[in-house]
A and B are shown apart, each in its own frame.
Chain A
């Protein structure tokens, strides 16, 4: 099957390509990028009208919780990858905190076989740093890499032991993959449920100070310098973290980082109605932090936008704020929020915004993706920049509904997702 996407605005952030062109896809690969209408009709080719649309490398989400195995009531590989396809993602990385967790190659093999069978897009597993993700003993990282993981992380379980982190960083260096750190000092975050500050004081809720993230970001920077091993900081949420990472990058320390849409769109003001869908870890911060996150995205300090898609069952989120679990689903809202809040409000150029969900994560993970280039896998997302939608959680393909963006009006909707030359989503419908 051949595909010809005609007359779209083709953007490749890596090569800075940004022009109206036809894109020819053949045998799952990008065959050619050609001037519009310069080629004679090619037989047996499906023509896709790209006029007025943006044609971009398929989106990559480095940080997704798929919940399978273990909590299939919240998400499965099938529902999660379908939600991702609807959101315009062609590749997602799944975090290892499943049950059983991905701290060994057997579980990785299981996930891969499920993806093979039920997944509609590419899934790259992330392995555990430690056995049981409990921060005590190193997992068999070599075996994990052999099974196909492209990064390791104990995400969700802060790795408190600095000595252990140092050894993990040193060890992983041999495999050329990054370690993704969930930065949270649990002695500082304790039993907090929202950002510590004015809002937590007004609402009488226990706070999580920015410092609980920042002391760990500082530690990871120092350890990255010591070990010269690549650290990727997950879900950066504070002004202080952005400043620390900016300085570290200036010094040439091997560090990259990501933030999530909720950290550049929402503040802790959103918690004032006790809506548990605003409960997320790290917590929603202040407007000053949001401003700093945007600055960090602008100047390149923040490399990646991920979703930290964290599905939770209704019955768990319908508890008191204190008792509800942390987490927000993001796969089906990320791109429209990036368009509406970053591109639409001139925080980032279109190409820079797309680089955070295409080439940058691809480079950090060391995968041959995230580009529109001859010979590359034909993972393509087509976006309608003018299409408006009201977010409706009841129409999510994800099994979970825990989004604080329900009812939001957004613009910039993915209308087609192509994975290895195959259309997997068209006009919001996953095939």
Chain B
């Protein structure tokens, strides 16, 4: 290693990263601080460091997600890890097949780190108790997607300098969104004012007890907003009668230039992707200078490198 970047002498004392709900603000701060160093590494001509040399990372995806898997894969490669990708298509899961088989798979691979995406809430948590490997939750049902939450927080931090006191509005299907949950848990811990907005049928019950404000009208929600975070509307996931049509959704909640006027002058527009252009957001807004969607993707690699680095028990200098 030829260059030295200082990272705070602190340890991330956990085996797993399962969610942002159980993290202490100091732990989130440690991740976000460390991520800054990794951002610098990704600016270098030679991006690879030997941190995870000889260690195996398994990407275990029960739901297809090329974006998240690729992002973890690039992150792990830059840390010199060996990578195994396992995609388990939903159709191949036999009814009654238990988690025990998954545990056996993980143990057989002797993986240091397992990145898991699963359609059901809690699966990474249960596995974390059962295996020695570090588990990273890459999305469990509608529960959490902690690295996406951290990426979004890092991106906001990068642009705004601080999260404290920012008015951050999450728009769309909050009910089914793990990205929304992780962001709510993380952002409120870091002192941001989080608002959620969407049709009442897509707002989870008692969400205000998580210290968020609830809005049903987009114009009211995004007034003076510092950040607007749009969620992907996924028709296939939604039960019937939660909203009538995507067309009506767009008319009520789609973000366009006109509506954006009431937000803060330097508002950031975010989207965890993949975007339904013309549904959650009009193309002109998605491509405007307000949009930091590309930054989110780029920061994804730095934040995921950070998480891999911290979970493998590293500290101090890179």
Contact = CB atoms under 8 A, between A and B. Distances in A.
Interface in B151-169: none
A35 to B, nearest CB: 58
A306 to B, nearest CB: 29
Interface residues of B, number: 27
A201 B204 contact: yes
A205 B142 contact: yes
B121 interface: yes
Contacts of B21: 202
Interface in B250-306: none
Interface in B119-161: 120-123, 125-126, 140-144
B239 interface: yes
Nearest to A209: B205
B210 interface: yes
Nearest to A196: B205
- Name, among A190, A273, A322, the residue most crowded by chain B CB atoms within 10 Å (CB to CB): A322
For the residues of A in contact with B, the DSSP-based class is loop
Nearest to A318: B98
A321 B99 CA distance: 11
A320 B207 contact: no
B205 A204 contact: no
A284 to B, nearest CB: 15
B100 A204 contact: no
A204 B99 contact: no
Interface residues of A, number: 22
Contacts of B126: 274, 320
B178 interface: yes
Contacts of B210: 201-202
A408 B67 CA distance: 45
Contacts of B140: 204
A197 interface: yes
B121 A274 contact: yes
Contacts of A205: 121-122, 141-143
B92 interface: no
A239 to B, nearest CB: 15
A318 B100 contact: yes
B127 to A, nearest CB: 10
A319 B98 contact: yes
Interface in A291-346: 315-316, 318-323
Contacts of A273: 125
A202 B206 CA distance: 9
A242 to B, nearest CB: 21
A274 B207 contact: no
A178 interface: no
A203 interface: yes
Contacts of B123: 274, 320
Interface in B84-127: 95-96, 98-100, 118, 120-123, 125-126
Nearest to B174: A201
Given A204-B143, A321-B120, 6 more contacts: A198-B209, A201-B204, A201-B206, A201-B207, A204-B140, A320-B126
Interface of B: 21, 95-96, 98-100, 118, 120-123, 125-126, 140-144, 178, 181, 204-207, 209-210, 239
7 contacts: A198-B206, A201-B204, A201-B206, A204-B141, A209-B205, A273-B125, A322-B120
